[in-house]
Amino acid sequence: MESLCRELSKCTFQLLKKNEQLSISFSGENSNFIRINESKVRQISNVINGDIEIELIIGQKKTVHGFTLTSNNNSNLIKIESELNKMRTYINELPNDPFIVLPKEGESSKKTIKGNLINDDDILDSILPPLSKVDSSGIWASGIIFKGFANCKGVFHWFETENYSFDFSLITKDEKMVKETYAGNYWNQKDYNQYIENAILKLNSLEKKNIRLKPGKYRTYIAPAGISDLINMFSWGGISESAIRQGASSFCKMRNENISLNPQFNLIEDFNLGLNARFNNYGELSPDKLNIISSGKLINTLISSRTAIEYNLESNKAEINEGLRTPIIAPGDMNENDILKKIGTGIYLSNLHYLNWSDQPNGRITGMTRYASFWVENGEIKSPIEQMRFDDSFYNFFGNNLLHISKKTQIIPDVSTYNARSLGGVKCPGMIIDNFKLTL
């Protein structure tokens, strides 16, 4: 596919007129999908899909159009020529863009991550036997995902990864659930079997009767999956420089009032994880690593070239939405075996759900506890708890109320499949937080 996209780019740029500039983005996949319900296979499919998006710029005006990429470049080129002619007819009707980012010359790149996946014929025999004695539902996805970029200035980028993910739930007879995601590039059957075994232990703990907690503040452990959801909120009116400049960011207090988080808290954007491409939609290469929050202090925000033009800043090559693509939360010094002991009496949360800002300027996030959540007494799990709403500020739970961070970290991949399988994810530990606020 890479060679097809390279050749198509060269041919496309030959269609341009002297006053025209063009960028092309490619994306696609060759994926296996298996849907499981009641630990039985309900659907098997293979998806081979490609998309192409072209951005035409004339002067200070631009227009973008996307369509399906095929394996036949003659057909692709005919479609591109037709779409270019349409775009030329209406681009003059568009207003000038004062902060337009023009194609630039620069370094090209290529990164291919080869995996060691299960053979297609062996997937079911590998994932189903450990689930034979429980009720489970989930989606298996595996295969190749690719992303590319080319512009009329000679830049070409290619990113391709081969990976798998199994996003699943284990379910009790009264429909309590344990939600887990097992993912990676290299399949390890022994590790997978152990992962399922640990999930079943959680499931067994759900067999006890639920208890209902009163609203209040509790010492709480949040597992990596829940921490990942909280960190993803930072990409939505958070770490964006544009949002801060517009007063629409939860990080304004860190910038304007010099408020810091807990010194244990460190947030880094690190493309060495291989979860996402280093190049952005402008074809710019982001730094391999960018420290965002160090020892609780805001060091950098995400600055796109568009924002840099608007506010006369230096860009760090963020995407146009200035969201995190491959963040890491640095580990701490808490051993996994000590988690329950350090909770003492409080709550163990495996997952969070339905997150939203409740008071964005003050960093308050609301959401629901979800799936395998437990009441802990004297360092022992006693009972599952009924779902509750939380409402608290990250200035509290990542600030003075952050007690411990686990040594062990986990990669929580983005497993969404809207239109296509997604790239990206979060690598993070679990955390114990004091006075975490449950509201109802």
- Tell me the per-residue pLDDT of 256-290, one tens digit each, with 9 for 90 and over: 999 999 999 999 999 999 999 999 999 999 999 99
| The pair of three-digit structure tokens given for residue 124, joined into one six-digit string | 């079911």
- Which residues 6+ apart lie within 8 Å of 33 measured at CB? 43, 44, 45, 46, 47, 139, 140, 141, 417
CA distance 199 to 131: 10
CA distance 90 to 100: 18
Please name the residue that has the structure tokens 């975490």: 436
Confidence of residue 369 (pLDDT cuts 50, 70, 90): very high
Q: Where are the beta strands (DSSP E) in 7-70?
A: 20-37, 40-58, 61-68
Residue 205's φ and ψ, nearest 5 degrees, are -70, -20
pLDDT tens digits, 290-340? 999 999 999 999 999 999 999 999 999 999 999 999 999 999 999 999 999
Given this model, what pLDDT does residue 354 score?
96
CA distance 429 to 265: 11
- Which residues 6+ apart lie within 8 Å of 117 measured at CB? 142, 143, 162, 163, 164, 185, 187
Residue 64 has pLDDT above 90, yes or no: yes
Given this model, what pLDDT does residue 419 score?
87
CA distance 36 to 38: 7
pLDDT tens digits, 119-175? 999 999 999 999 999 999 999 999 999 999 999 999 999 999 999 999 999 999 999
Is this structure's pTM higher than 0.85? Answer: yes
Q: In this structure, how many other beta carbons lie within 10 angstroms of the beta carbon of residue 4?
A: 17
Residue 362's φ and ψ, nearest 5 degrees, are -100, 10
373 in Cβ contact with 349 (< 8 Å): yes
Beta bridge partners of 380: 377
CA distance 437 to 440: 10
pLDDT tens digits, 186-242? 999 999 999 999 999 999 999 999 999 999 999 999 999 999 999 999 999 999 999
CA distance 288 to 272: 6
Q: What structural domains and CATH numbers belong to the chain?
A: 2-205 (3.30.2290.10), 216-438 (no CATH)
Residue 423 has pLDDT above 90, yes or no: yes
Average model confidence (pLDDT) for the chain?
96
